[in-house]
Chains A and B, each alone.
Chain A
Amino acid sequence: MAPEGLFLPGEEVIMASVKVEKLEKVYPNGFKALHGIDLQIADGEFMVVVGPSGCAKSTLLRLIAGLEEVTSGTITIGDRVVNDLDPKDRRIAMVFQNYALYPHMTAYENMAFALKLAKLPRAEIDARVREAAAKLEIEGLLDRKPKDMSGGQRQRVAVGRAIVRKPDVFLFDEPLSNLDAKLRVSMRARLVQLHRELKAGGQRAAMVYVTHDQVEAMTMGDRITVMKDGRIMQTDTPMALYERPANKFVAGFIGSPAMNIHRAGLKRIGDQVVVAVSGQEWALAPAQAARVLASWPADGEEVWFGIRPDSIDLAGPGGEQAGLCGEISLVERTGGEAYCYFRVNGDEYVARLEGSRAGQLQPGDVGQFRVKVDEGHVFSGAGGTNISLPAV
């Protein structure tokens, strides 16, 4: 996918803070981790890089940080190509998964360390550390050593250590994955808030945040880059990714529960396009049909049809809409809503229902479901490209 333009909602055009061009990484053992990555991150942008493990998202981060050598391509931070710069000279800061705090130093010393190495005046160091500590509400921890702190506290110190350096770019490498679920949710919000505060305070720091957790990605990122096997699948805002996944992979990766994607056949009947899936035949909406017709798959009619759980609902009393009928295997009730799993002709589906509508549904019942076909996506059978997307 071509990178999106650098227009952020409600902001003027700004310079790219991080620009990655044709970046390749080949390890000495011959393994090619990155296959020519292009990515631009704007000043002050919160970019989340997400993907399953092994997709080389961390490698990308480490290359930006300078912890690993670039095989080919360029990395630009600000206006400088940093390929050959030491990490300390790249004006970046990084927060690690295990926080990597120096065990023998207090929180204060940990935060001050980089500044001390950079030979900043003592007063300046003190001011910066105290400012960051106030921001993170860890003033009370400054004299403690890492072993005397909880995971969440260490995490905040690690973030504080990054903040005090006032870098152009913050790099986060799965910083929340060592925390328990509840803490993770609150830290998530806190980081987003922090980002906002930093920007408000005049720092236009970009953030590159690597995670495997799509919920984190969706909730935190200004934009998200989805990666797979060393390639970028799509880069866009969270809602755009959700509503307009560029391909089957992104469609399946983003969103929880995942999109229902099943093998499907395509039939052209005049201007109409009919998709045959799970034994049902549904006509696509005219606009959708036109787009599918425009990029009719070369390899025949075998495609994938994807429909989000949100787009499936219990059928009302009128029965004329496209529908599915299947035996319910499981109903997960979370209070406000319920996930209803059912099976149609061997294909598993999940529907997201409002809690009240799930009503008395029980496993074993046969449910009648209504499908909003116009919210569905058609992916080509071979490449998995979304052929039902409106051209941008």
Chain B
Amino acid sequence: MRAAGLARMLAVLLVGAGLLLAGGCQPAVEEGTPDNPYRIVWYTIGTPQKDLKLVEARLNEYLREKIGAELDIRMIDWANYREKMNVVLISGENYDLCFTASWSNPYEQNAMRGAFYPLNDLLDRYGQGIKEALDPRFIEGAKINGQLYAIPANKEIGQQVVYRINYDLMTKLGFSLSDFRPLAGPDSLRSLAPYFQKIREQYPGYTPYAIFGNMNYLMGDMDFILANSGLPGAVRIEQGNYKVFNQYEDREFQEYFRLYREFYEKGYIAPDAAQIRDDQSIIVSGRWGADYAGYQPYADNIWSAAMNMKIVSFPEFRPIVTKNSVMGSMMAISINSRRPDIVMKFLNLLNTDPYVRNTIQYGIEGIHYQKIAANRIEFLPGHANYEMPGFSLGNLFITYLVPGDPDDKWERFREWNDSAVSSQILGFHFDHTPVTAELAAVTSVMNQYGPGLFTGQSDPGVALPKLNQELKKAGLDRLLAEQQRQLDEWVKNRRQ
């Protein structure tokens, strides 16, 4: 499988090399003018849209005049994006711009391997608008050893786990949101127990707590060195205490596993939960009591609309700004881009110019949408041919409001962002090269024990000691030591 992947990659690369040789001569005329625009090849994530070329052409008219550039947008579907970008990157294809995040086309790993163009200077010269528009913590959090390699999208900056409740079921059983304890960590989860018990008694076919093998690693008052991978290595959020520890040995963290186990044994969690990944059929059927999700302002409205049922939620913890949360959606310039300056100019427009930003997201006025107020639109039938994932396309705060959005949506986002607390290690990025072998072994161990623990299928009394023992054998101590060493150095450098 891997051999085939490699072969495919190299085939692409050979063809690519051939094209490169064929078209390698320098253009005689200066590039980046309205007459001779520079073509920005842009890979982005999402289901390819029918009207993409149409919108692109409309946008290019504007961009040619404005910055002497044209877009060549290439969309790759969600599931394939990570692998396809891997091929694009390794083959050294001459693209300019790509979507990157902690969870696909991974930012840290690729940036550290030199796949992306360093942006500090370009940002200073051509990206002033970005600097003004974005919460500065986005840029600080995304910098690796002081150098920025991608522009984060301006959106919710923090991460916050909330428990989502199936409202109709809750009221039918005589509960209200005030019966649950918000912002109490494990106690928030525990406060759901009576509700789950009632569901179990009165609706035996229902799944009270609808969680699955895709794990929730965001628990407790801590931030994780290896982001949301679930791999060991954690630091307290704000203590001035930079001690790296294994969260699976942490008492508070372990408390969740005991709760999961208790819920599992009482039948609140599906018996196959560890094996099933994200079973939407249960959610859609409405035969569930609660689950969890990452929050953003007005998320309840979005969820309710998406699931076609009323959803309410309460937070487990306050919003925290971590490197993971600032790396949720970013755009990076390729190391092989011939004109990173022009690409940065485009990024600046994308984050500051409402026309560019809204066209790329909503399409052409009169075809895909119509305006009904200064910053509010309604969709036209053409919208079906152009539905872009807005979060992946830059600054959200200058996008139009759509039906269902409250007027104060972006204000609430700003408020919520301001309320979010920064992790004390925001901006620290771990370079795993000195411990690749250990990391690989540890990853394998976590894969083995994680899903069972995070769904209550495994008894933490047995599985946790075993997990920690296996982790140690896999080289956990060396991994943690290296994390500590790099973190200490980072702290020292930052103080200077």
Q: Answer yes or no: A and B touching, Cβ < 8 Å.
A: no
